[in-house]
Amino acid sequence: MDKRRVVVTGIGIVSALGTGTDKSWENLLAGASGTSTITLFDAGEYPVRIAAEVKDFNPEDHMEKKEVRKFDRFIHFALAASSFAVEQSGLDFDHVDRERIGVYIGSGIGGFRTIEEEHTRLLSHGPRRISPFFIPATIINMASGLVSIRYGAKGPNSAAVTACSTSSHCIGDSFKIIQRGDADVMIAGGSEAAITPMGIGGFAAMKAISARNDDPQRASRPFDKERDGFVVGEGAGTLVLEELEHARRRGAAILGEVVGYAMTADAYHITAPPPDGDGAKRAMEIAIRDAGITPDMVDYVNAHGTSTPLNDKLETLAIKRVFGDHIRHLLVSSTKSMTGHLLGAAGGLECAVTALALRHQVIPPTINYEFPDPECDLDYVPNEARKATIRYALSNSFGFGGTNAVLLFKHYAE
């Protein structure tokens, strides 16, 4: 039996480059940086005082005021990004089978801010002062739950939690759900809001994030020799995935096609990838094989590209091992250089960006690429966006615990 084809009909983005897909995309192509000094809390005593905050976001634009108070910021972002994607898709929920529409939105950390605030309230005022909304405000699957409630989507409903691979797993699993016939439409992606005292403090304690406090816009510099860690970002990225014939019947604009997905484990270390990049390599190979194509047909890789010394070096090695001689023709970029690292939402945002790159046939740059690293020697589309012919594109996501997710997208043509 032929596999059902799965297409993208809606894209929703909330990022440090702007609330709304068009605004974020325009700033990506302009090579803008979303990193600045932290304003969400007083980070004056922290070793790291920079992050990629979403500064133009008003949750009351996307939900009622009384609902805003009930739920964590990561849920606000998920609802907004999903509404952008659904609006673009043109789905009319009064004229579709809602039992065939699902939601799959994850988060790596979930309601961190609310957990911190309620814990402080517990210590200060005792257990009777804990909000009755504390648990639903913070649990990770509530983003999927509230989106499904908003639209009456009664199909598959779930949430992955796989660190920095989270939303790529959500999108990939949704692709397979539609492909095998268990749903016709999935709203999929991820959301994160971990720019909090404990979030920044924890990553700083690991020495995983950049301490370039005096020059924040140049802090995230994937593949550059002077990279010193990632920048914590926040926001959400969601896609409306749809079975091709379902989309055609309702006259939807088709933005791209999902054709391959893979998930692997490094089985090596809690944070470090293996020295041969094996887990990432196998994930890319399996995604390409799942699509039934060969590596030389891939034109672009939206890299995980965190701006950490080890990750960037070993992702480069893994890409070389997958693509061999084709590496001379392959374009690679890390949009984390502009958005920061959205942790569990990174893959959702980057899948959205990959779909947009295919749609518009232009590749966002890797900004802050100034000092070449001999161990990172690919074409990273440095500093300026580039027009290109893109037939197939990969989006890579690799998470703590050695969990890897890769999606393969195709330029859609009738």
Is residue 174 pLDDT above 80, yes or no? yes
CATH architecture of 7-249: 3-Layer(aba) Sandwich (3.40)
Which of 180, 200, 178 shows the shortest CA–CA distance to 244?
A: 178
pLDDT in tens, 292-330: 999 999 999 999 999 999 999 999 999 999 999 999 999
The per-residue pLDDT for 1 is: 59
Is residue 116 pLDDT above 70, yes or no? yes
The per-residue pLDDT for 2 is: 78
Report H helices in 30-72: 65-70
Catalytic residue among 164, 170, 351, 376: 164
DSSP code of residue 59: G
Which of 11, 19, 8, 10 shows the shortest CA–CA distance to 234?
A: 19
CA 304 to chain centre: 10
Catalytic residue among 341, 351, 376, 411: 341
pLDDT in tens, 9-21: 999 999 999 999 9
Does 304 participate in catalysis according to the annotation? Answer: yes
Does 62 participate in catalysis according to the annotation? Answer: no
Catalytic residue among 169, 246, 304, 411: 304
Domain 261-410 - what CATH class?
alpha beta
Is residue 26 pLDDT above 70, yes or no? yes
Domain boundaries, the chain: 7-249, 261-410
pTM: 0.98
Whole-number Å distance between alpha carbons of 342 and 338: 11
Which of 283, 328, 333, 285 shows the shortest CA–CA distance to 307?
A: 333
